[in-house]
Amino acid sequence: MKVKADSRWRRRPRDWQREPPSALLLALEGRAIFEWSALLLAWPWLGRAPHGDGHPVLVLPGLLASDASTLPIRGLLDRLGFVSHPWELGMNRGPVKGVIGKLSKRVRDLSKQSGRKVSLVGWSMGGAMAHGLALAMPDRVRSVITMGSPLDGHPHSTHAWRVFEQVSGLQADDEQLHDLMGLPALVPTTNILSKSDGIVHWRSSMLPPSALSETIEVSASHLGLGVHPAVLWMIAERLAQAEGAWRP
């Protein structure tokens, strides 16, 4: 997958986000345990969220995470009438060799099998990869939802960049990895972010304003975004919009 950007990250403006979240916000990531607990209490209520039309939804986990981390999202979507799918590629180590090709094939296969476009939901790194897939194959992707994803910022605007380099074998500041940075959405895209995110700076989780993208702010930790009851409701509500009738 290769999409050319108009400019490289080294030529970004001075106000481009270059620093990660504060040490205090990083320390507060431990509150994610309370967000997981809140999910148990809110589970009956979430059954009232908007229901789906049976179209396929591929859910991508964050860096170092696997399909186990997206079980709550997929469980709710299935409960609401969507047809969710795990990514089935083990632990997410980023766009290492072969992964993007496998994901592209997965999207094509799901689209062909269902006869419908596929929605993509991605947490953190998974969201950045979902955005890239949508740019490369908009004819197969119905919509994208990202959660705390590094979409448009300096490689070091996340505390995870060193971990990314270690597990992927790639350089965080490699220009090829940032060809997609800041490119506007080609399909309806919802970017969910939290200004109290302790891993990825919230300014890096936004795409340029356009008729096909929106930004929704919540109060949550980075590690709790995928289980936060309000976030899960938003995911269902955005995915439930009729194809071709998306509105921010």
pLDDT confidence band for 72 (50 / 70 / 90): very high
pLDDT confidence band for 17 (50 / 70 / 90): low
Q: Give the model confidence (pLDDT) of 158-188 as tens digits.
A: 999 889 888 888 776 666 566 667 788 999 9
State the chain's mean pLDDT as an integer: 90
DSSP conformation class of 146 = E
pLDDT confidence band for 215 (50 / 70 / 90): very high
pLDDT confidence band for 18 (50 / 70 / 90): confident
pLDDT confidence band for 7 (50 / 70 / 90): very low
Q: Give the model confidence (pLDDT) of 81-100 as tens digits.
A: 999 999 999 999 988 889 99
Q: Where are the domains of the chain?
A: 17-239
What's the N-to-C CA distance of the chain in angstroms? 28
With 90 as the cut, is the pLDDT of residue 129 above it? yes
Across 228-242, average pLDDT: 98
Q: ∠ CA 168-174-180 to the nearest 5 degrees? A: 95
Per the listing, tokens 């632990």 go with: 91
> Smallest Cα–Cα separation from 96: which of 175, 150, 156, 177?
177
Against a cut of 0.75, is the pTM above it? yes
Per the listing, tokens 């999910």 go with: 39
**How far apart, in whole angstroms, are the C-alpha atoms of residue 168 and residue 161?**
10
Rounded alpha-carbon distances, angstroms, from residue 106 to 60, 118, 180: 12, 10, 20
Percent of the chain with pLDDT over 70: 89
Across 45-66, average pLDDT: 98
**How far apart, in whole angstroms, are the C-alpha atoms of residue 181 and residue 133?**
13
Show the 3-state SS of 188-222.
Answer: CEEEEEECCCCCECHHHHCCCCCCCEEEEEECCCC
For residues 203 and 17, the answer to whether their CB atoms sit within 8 Å is: yes
Rounded alpha-carbon distances, angstroms, from residue 97 to 93, 140, 169, 198, 224: 10, 22, 10, 29, 29
pLDDT at 200: 96
* Domain over 17-239 is classified CATH 3.40.50.620: no
